[in-house]
Amino acid sequence: MAAAHQSYRHLANLGIPPHPQRYQALLDESEPFQLVLKILEGLPFRASLLEGVANVQCQLRLSLFDTTYSHFFGRTWKSSPQPIKHTHGQPAKVSFNQAVYFHISLNCTHIAIIVEVVAIAKKHEGNEQILSCGFGILQLPNRQKLASEADKSKKVKRLNLYHGTPRALLHPVSEDSTERSKFMTLIEGSAVFYTLLTHPPLMEVRHLIPENLLISGSDTIPGVAASTGQTSDALRKPNLLKTVTCFLDKLSLQLYPTVEKFEEELVELLNADRLLKNGQITDGSTVVIQERRLHVGVHNGLCYVQKPQVVVLIPATMQRKSGAISKSLLKKSLILRSRIQLTEMVKHEFFGILFHLEYVFHTSTGQRKVSNMPLANSTYMQTLRWAVWNPFLGPNSNSDITVSLHGGPSPNPCNLLVYKTPSTEMSSDEVKQVESGTITFHFSCRADRHLSTSPEQPANTPDKKSQLSSSSLWKTSESSGPQHATGEALQRGSIIYMDSNGVLNSQTLEQLHELPFTSMQAPIMAMGTEVGGTTTVTSRASLAQMQAFGFPEIRDDKNELAVVIDSEKLPSMNLRMEEEDHLQCNEIILQFLAYSRVPRESDHPRSVYFTFQFYRFPPVTTQQLQLVKMKKKGSKSSMPFILVPLNKNGTGNIADTPGLELKFMVEPSLMKDGEQRWFMQYLALQTLQIDVWDAESLLLIGTAAVDLKHLLRHGLPAVQVSHELEVVNTDYAPDVPMSISDFTNHGAVKPYGVTTVIKGRLHLRLGNVGHRSEQRVKRSLSTHQSKIISAHDNTSKFYGGSLTSQTVGNINGYNVYRAQRLVDLDGELASVLFSRARINSVGQKQTDIDGEIIRKRKLSRMISVRQQESGTALQSKSHILAKREERIQHERDLQVIEAYREQLKAQSINKMLSLAITTQFTLYSTLGNAEFFEFTLKNPYSVQHTVTVECEHPELSVIVNSREWKYFKNLSKVQTPLEEDMFHIDGGVQFPQIYLRPKETVYIPFKYQTFSVDHSIAPQGPSDGSFARKNLINREQSHAPKKIEVYFKIEDQKPIAILHVSVEAQPYVVDQTFRFYHPELTFLKKSIRLPPFNVLTDMEVKESQAEFQIYVRCTDLNVICNTKKMVPKEPQDIFLKVACGPTPEIKKFFVLIYMDPWLAMPIQIWQFYVQSLQRVDVNCVVGQLAQLSLVLRGTQSARKVAAYTSDPQEIEITPSDVFTLPPHVVKDLHLRIRPQIEGERCIYLNVVDVDFHQLVASWLVCLTCKHPTICKAFEISISVEEGKGINKRINYTNPYPTKRLYFLRTNRADLLLFKEDSFELEGGETYHIGLRFAPVLNTGEEEILIFINDQAENNEETYCVKVTYQ
């Protein structure tokens, strides 16, 4: 038992509680803080105090102190001892750079942190001498002060130190414990520099850390994952370990010798103690047991993770059905009838299930028995026993567990007084474990059915009961040393735990192997971008007539027609020829000419608009374009519709403005240096995706894709190419089970439920006209920029003063100054002088209204006229006083300027010196690309220094992993030295540190990578016609460059070098776009299958490259995106989970796909659009009518709206025309659904404001269509070679005795026509239904359904005709 008591001693010493009066002022929520201790400047002790000692180190100790009640509370935190560094001519300094975290719910007005400086020295004898050198008082700010000084709190602050020790604050003489106390003497020249900030990320793990506990990020915090970044600070950005759910069943507690005798002795002792306190022998009352409670909770060694559960136990003798409990245990047991569920358990050696048994007593005048009366005010509780058990440290824990109970005055996690235990001096070891009582239960875990066995016990050991002592299950943080990681990731369902350092430990528990992953949904195939334009479907006659409409011609600067390029031929790409072209300015022309409907008999769409984005120009949304039919004699089936732009009033003239022409002027003089080559690569490799929308319904018709490589001119003055692009609509069916998908020979799953339908053809003409540029394009390209940055390569920001643009070319030196007025350079000084000038001599502000100015001007004119008439100067006394006041004011201004100059002189000198050590570097970055570079850092001093690399920007980081550094060096072909373990990142340091010898030069590797992208989406609908048809590229169209500062500081926080990184964003290429429509407020879960490796990377797959791992990264942190490592030659899937918002929200994000673990360069960039819609589920039968209503709510103003559907052949909407939607009124939309195809699919329904082309409401109608019951079946054969249709007939007899009206329907109106769509029959009369089968061109088989419906459109009978085309 002594071992168990010793194991819990650290739990009992977690800290002193706050003063009892402070509990009345607790806040609702605790406030998290981060205190970063920077350096100690100036030793707070004399050197003579440590004579004869060596290796003197300093340590900081922090304690919480209540200044109102002079009360220390919490636990003292101690930093790691740091050496003292002496610099000639400067005070001694000690660098700590350690962060301390805590959260407190008290009012911080009178709470302070006492910072004590302790010197630790070793004597010659080997003993340590500890000397308290001084202390400081750091006052915590309250919430109001934190909010008001949010920006100032990030600055480094100074904490003065005082003589003595913090224990002086408890002296009665020290009434005022703050700095105002007369008994506190300041230590001159000694201070601690620190920063104190609120730390919101700590709120995520505050349930794992007790309040008022000072702790550092390098300490072991059970339940928090160890840091894997550049530092070992796990609390800077804490990550929680995975939790599992545990269950305790059949719980029983055994008390010896029996429950009755145990309670009888307990009550006698309590009653005797009560009488002894009252000084009585007897009072006729006795102590009665009210309840037997068991507190069960998860403890992480520091605190309860959640509030423990309280359950009521009953004696086993009161249980009617004893179950498996033997008769010998009935009298000894207290049992629990219910099940206990613990959801916060973590597989960690410090986590355990804590039990403590508590009895509730009250005083009664009757016999001693268990009372059923409610708890009264006179009741009180007493803790009798406690126990703790870790489910992941025992040998095969998934069984019946027996744990010994503890009691007595030994330390316990709850810091409570516990009832005594019987004497065990004469007992054996086996009896000692059970004499205080035991608790037995059956343990199970939801995540895993079998827990692994410990290494001491073989895996095939049979299950048996284990009697465990809590002394063997819990360890202190000091006794648990670090262990090596296994390198295996924590898999879902694995029974492993993490050691005190958060490292995976597979030596204690054997890891179970995960079963092969089997998805319940079929994956979606990433088919890549479909590029049309290689096949011409429109007839030559139609093309000739379309060109006769007078579309704008594309001509060069000499007014000659552009050279026509054949779109079916693959052009050669020579970027060098494009660079040497004297016409460097490119005018890109897009002409939208015509549109062909598919099928041609359809009457939708009647008007369209387009959305796309070319290069880095702003996204384009065109105006509404009406489809106008061409007039031609003869066949009209293949005639395209001319696109005519509509004005704001909805009118347009085909004779005036046929087609839509857009121009994009790419002028190199307005572009960034080297961007011209980026643009040429964009044309050579990019595919322009154009979304085609129905302008009336605002529904997406499809997407057309066109290659831009035909726009490379190859030295020609102008080129043009015509395309007939397929507008493809990709539809994703609802989630289908894997079982109905197709399987290949090697077990891979083919995509199921993805359909692509050609919705139309877009006639598009592209052109590129070359022009002379204002300046020659520079050859300096960002792709060839140096990866090594030196401070001596003329990249310093110090130029010796400002120079005019006219003289900068004539001056060779940099140390040239140009005098300028201070008022012109400093706005603050100008504001001060201007405010003084506007105050007159009596201290009142002058009124500068127009009337006052006019009056003064008239007075000055009158004085000048009188001077001319009299011939003498008229100077009044007031005028002389005004001149004198003006001279005085000028003298005051000069004094202000002089004082201001003296005040800013030191700051200006420091700024100029900082510019002298500042290196400027411009970085060209693309979305997802990791830009690698190395900075040459030299130690300018003749002594060694530890340099801290400080960079606060999250996108720029120092590469501290040597394997990652080596990978990027090989990728960039950089031939610089590579060092292992170059940086110091342990010990709670905030930034990586590097040790430099005197005058040593090293290369610091950096990596910049951004996943920040604009997720904003333009509102749906065409533009109003005011968009720019001629677009000129400029620098302002790109985002402002990011400015990142990197400081290289030595121990005294002085920088030896500054790196200023300017990041220029470059355009990125989107390889594929996905659009999903999903029900609102649900999760979209999709599995997307990658195409083969050679399709992704345009490379041949070698046998050695067959095994590769895919890595993904999403630009939206709220989207879960991952992949699973598959066996070789198996397909790779990407899994997405997206939380959809309320309708009609559209979420946009990007997914980047990599093939290397360091995410150097994405091989694919996918763009996703997820629109949230209101879902309506409909169960129906093919060919039968289903009706339902939707509720449409009015907005704040009246609107003229119309309802549209993506499949008007299957859904009819009432009202079908434009109607008025009053404000705040509920209106019903009636749907008549007649499905034609069996299966599951989705149809979209939009309600659009017809005046402003705005989306008012949107629904997702999910159809589940079943096959109808076939009454009769027929079979017919039709010859394809004849090219003629065939007429047939079938008979139908009215089965009713009365007259009936019938209607005929079919699911293939393109293949079957009825002679009459309806007929009327008398009772028992027979009718011959005439059928006309249309001719087809291809052989095959089709099943055509014929529906015979009654007058109410209810299906009477269904016939099936199997047609064989041969």
Burial of 596 (0-12, 13-18, 19+ CB in 10 A): buried
pLDDT digits (tens, 9 = 90+) for 1246-1261: 898 888 888 888 888 8
Q: Is 1080 helix (H, G, I), strand (E, B) or coil?
A: coil
Spatial distance between the Cα atoms of 1152 and 183, rounded to a whole number of angstroms: 65
Could you tell me the CA-to-CA distances from 204 to 70, 154, 392, 1117 in Å, in that order? 32, 22, 25, 17
Average pLDDT over residues 383-400: 78
What 267-270 contacts at long range (C-beta under 8 Å, 24+ apart), as own/partner pairs, is: 267/361, 267/368, 270/361, 270/382
Longest dimension (CA), the chain: 135
Instruction: Kindly tell me if the per-residue pLDDT of 61 is higher than 80.
Output: yes
DSSP state letters, 1085-1133: EEEEEPPPHHHHHS-PPPSTTSS---EEEES-TTSEEEE----TTSPPE
**pTM of the shown model:** 0.57
Residue 758 and residue 728 in contact, taking contact as beta carbons nearer than 8 Å? yes
Helices (H), 930-1021: 962-972
Q: Supply the pLDDT for residue 193.
A: 93
427: Cα separation from own chain's centroid: 61
Residue 595 confidence (pLDDT) above 80: yes
User: 982 or 178, which is more confident?
Assistant: 982
Backbone angles phi, psi at 507, to 5 degrees: -85, -30
Determine the Cα–Cα distance for residues 1042 and 159; give it in Å rounded to an integer.
35
Closest CA to 104 of 155, 157, 28: 28
> Distance between CA atoms of 120 and 56, rounded to whole angstroms?
6
Question: Could you read off the pLDDT of 536-550 as tens digits, one per residue?
Answer: 666 666 666 677 677
**Cα distance between residue 1313 and residue 1334, in whole Å:** 8
51: left (phi over 0), alpha (psi -120 to 50) or beta: beta
355-387 tens-digit pLDDT: 989 999 888 765 444 444 444 446 788 899 999
**d(Cα 957, Cα 51) in Å, to the nearest integer?**
45
The more confidently predicted of residues 65 and 46 is 65
Contact by Cβ (8 Å): 1194, 1227: yes
| H-helix segments, 575-701 | 575-579, 675-685
Place of tokens 């900068």: 808
CA gap 306, 297 in Å, rounded: 7
Which tens digits make up the pLDDT trace of 1199-1251? 899 998 888 888 888 888 889 888 888 888 888 888 888 888 888 888 988 88
Mean pLDDT over residues 710-733, rounded?
84
Q: Are 141 and 108 in contact (CB under 8 A)?
A: yes
On average, the pLDDT of the chain sits at: 76
Closest by alpha carbon to 1136, among 1075, 1171, 1085, 1076?
1085
Mean pLDDT across the stretch 831-841? 55
Cβ–Cβ < 8 Å for 1217, 1301: no
| CA-wise closest residue to 719 among 659, 655, 766 | 766
**Which is more confident, 401 or 790?**
401
Number of H helices, E strands in the chain: 15, 68
CB-based contact 1291:1327 (threshold 8 Å): yes
Count other Cβ atoms within 10 Å, centred on residue 1138: 23
Asked which of 118-132, 340-354, 437-451, 1332-1346 is least confident by mean pLDDT, the reply is 437-451
What is the predicted pLDDT for the residue at 232?
78
Enter the tokens of residue 629.
Answer: 């039919």
C-alpha dist (Å) from residue 324 to 248, 251, 319, 462: 16, 12, 12, 20
What's residue 391's pLDDT?
85
Could you tell me whether strands 931-938 and 788-789 are parallel, antiparallel, or unpaired per DSSP bridges? parallel
Pick the more confident residue, 993 or 865.
Answer: 993
> Looking at the predicted structure, is the pLDDT value of residue 800 above 60?
no
Tens-place pLDDT, residues 872-905 = 555 555 566 667 777 787 787 787 777 777 777 7
| Alpha-carbon span 1063 to 925, nearest angstrom | 7
Q: DSSP labels for 1241-1306?
A: EEEEEEEEETTTTEEEEEEEEEEEEEPPPPSEEEEEEE-STT---EEEEEEEE--SSS-EEEEEEE
DSSP lists the bridge partners of residue 504 as 498
The torsion angle over the Cα atoms of residues 679, 681, 687 and 689, rounded to 10 degrees, is -20
Phi-psi region of 767 (alpha: psi -120 to 50; beta: other; left: phi over 0): beta
Q: For residues 627 and 652, is the Cβ–Cβ distance under 8 A?
A: no
pLDDT of 1074 reads: 85
The CA distances from residue 451 to 444, 461, 493, 499, 789, in Å, are 9, 13, 10, 17, 54
Strand partners, 957: 1007
Least confident of 424-433, 978-987, 1350-1359: 424-433
SS3 content of the chain, % helix, strand, coil (to 5): 15, 40, 45
| pLDDT tens digits, 1160-1183 | 888 888 889 898 888 888 888 888
Least confident of 456-460, 1100-1104, 1229-1233: 456-460
Using the predicted structure, report yes or no on whether residue 797 has a pLDDT greater than 80: no
pLDDT above 80: residue 1193: yes
Calpha distance 702→711 (Å, rounded)? 24
Q: How far apart are CA 261 and CA 331, in angstroms?
A: 10
Q: DSSP letter at 797?
A: S
Residue from 1118, 1169, 1167, 1166 nearest 1146 by CA? 1169
Q: What is the DSSP string of 139-162?
A: EPP-HHHHHHTTTGGGS-EEEEEE
The residue among 1056, 1066, 820, 781 whose CA lies nearest residue 924 is: 1066
How many Cα neighbours within 13 Å face the side chain of 816? 11
For residue 690, the tally of other CB atoms under 10 A from its CB is: 22
